[in-house]
Structure 1
Amino acid sequence: MTHESEGVQDMSWMRITADEVVPTPWRNGGGRTRELLAWPHATDWKVRISVADIDKDGPFSAFPGVDRWFGVLSGKGVHLMGRYLRQGDGILAFRGEEAPDCVLIDGPTQDFNAMHRRDAGVFRVLPADRPFIPAGATWLGLFTERGGLLVHGHRSVPLAPHTLAWCESPAAQSCVFDDGDQHGPAWWLVWSDT
């Protein structure tokens, strides 16, 4: 099941916060995941967006045929794929087949995760620190850690902290995210057929 029926609709934008989602414990006991959206279908997704709480060191699950994006939202960060990643360091992209080891730097972290089936169109993750025009996009999302205001054309959509907002067939009008100079992690998520 996707969360489209549970999200709040504001014109063509849907929203869901991590607080609205019951966390699912990992089989290895190393953390919990809050799945914000599996699009277009929960069992046959092209894009999957989640927030995870990592409590202890361990390997990521393998996802053959899937590209992944990972960013630290809170905590001291992790060592992953030969890099130290902390809040504000941007996002790391890697192939799901790699199933890398994740080592906590100093205690638990909360992290943003995006996954995309490699053979299902084109997916991009971009910092939401500048305006974006979704020309040619079939699906557009925005994730914000601290909340703010999403302005798409003449529509304004207020976003709470830890919110995923998304719309299908977005108008090719300017999208701006204003977080009130909080400078928290926020990313545009863009999917297209080609």
Structure 2
Amino acid sequence: MSWMRITADEVAPTAWRNGGGRTRELLAWPHVADWKVRVSIADIDRDGPFSAFPGVDRWFSVLSGGGVILRGRALKPKEGIVHFAGEDAPNCVLIDGPTQDFNAMHRRDAGVFRVQPADRPVIPHGAQWLGLFTQDGGMIIHGHRSVPLAPHTLAWCESPASQSCVFDDGDRHGPAWWLIWSES
């Protein structure tokens, strides 16, 4: 078992068809053409609806900028993460200019996916895939192994050992989330 890592700086942004922003796809797992889990960072430049993804659950959080209004709720940096059905395609209104945002998606018919704050350890019993996204960087400690992470990094491993996983952000208190996938 080894941890893979990718930072947003390593990925070229792709413009949206509607011209409202850009996406840096950090991972489409297990394959880009047939993913179960997709993790990205988006730059939203203007108001507009999210793309519809039928059969997909989505998790969204504002990383930087003035925030957005999504599904009638104002979301600002460091104010947590929202979960919604991808087919809803909610309208997004910028509060005060462009934002940079975290986005995780999971196909509902492809196993079970959980997203939870990385402020507590996890033990990935039964998980086939374990990931962590951090805005500000830090260190994953998995068993007796430490994995350093730069800002805006997604780290993941397949078939993780059922040992305690701890994320240490060095008291930066930036957003970070465990992403956990299992077949059932």
Shared fold, TM over 0.5: yes
Query: For residue 137 of structure 2, what is the aligned residue in structure 1?
Result: 147
User: Among the aligned pairs, what percent are the same residue?
Assistant: 81
Aligned to 1:54: 44
Query: Deviation at 1:88?
Result: 1.1
Matched, 1:20 2:16: no
Give the alignment partner of residue 104 of structure 1, picking from 94, 108, 131: 94
Q: 1:132 aligns with which of 110, 115, 122?
A: 122
Residue 97 of structure 1 aligns to a residue whose secondary structure is helix
RMSD: 0.6
* Residue in 2 that maps onto 1:118: 108
CA shift for structure 1 position 151: 0.4
Q: What's the TM-score, normalizing by structure 2?
A: 0.99
Q: Which residue of 2 aligns with 1:5?
A: none
Gaps of 5+ in 2: none
Work out the CA distance in 2 between the residues paired with 1:142 and 1:106.
29
Rounded Cα–Cα distance in structure 2 between residues aligned with 1:82 and 1:141:
30
Structure 1 position 108, deviation (Å):
0.5
Q: In 2, distance between residues paired with 1:82 and 1:123?
A: 25
Count of paired positions: 184
- Partners in 1 of 2:113 and 2:121 — Cα distance? 18
- Residue 60 of structure 2 is matched in structure 1 by 70
Alignment-derived partner of residue 182 in structure 2: 192
SS at match of 1:19: helix
3-state DSSP of counterpart to 1:129: coil
C-alpha distance in 2 between matches for 1:174 and 1:131: 6
Inter-partner Cα distance in structure 2 for 1:166 and 1:16? 9
| CA deviation vs aligned residue, 1:154-188 (integer Å, no higher than 9, x gap) | 00000000000000000000000010111001000
Match for residue 171 of structure 1 among 136, 161, 172: 161
What is the CA distance between 1:83 and its match in structure 2? Answer: 0.7
Provide the secondary structure at the position in 1 that maps to 2:61. strand
Q: Tell me the alpha carbon deviations over residues 39-86 of structure 1, each in whole angstroms, 9 at most, x when there is no partner.
A: 000000000000000000000000000000001111111000111111
Question: Secondary structure, in 3 states, of the residue corresponding to 2:96?
Answer: coil
Distance 2:167 2:183 in 1: 24
Q: Distance in 2 between matches of 1:139 and 1:46?
A: 11
How many angstroms does 1:124 deviate by? 0.3
Q: Which structure 1 residue ranges, 4+ long, deviate > 6 Å from structure 2? A: none
Residue 85 of structure 1, aligned match among 75, 79, 82? 75
Match of 2:27 in 1: 37
TM-score, normalising length from structure 1?
0.94
Encode CA deviations 1:92-142: one digit per residue, 9 max, x unaligned: 000000000000010100000000000000000000001111111000000
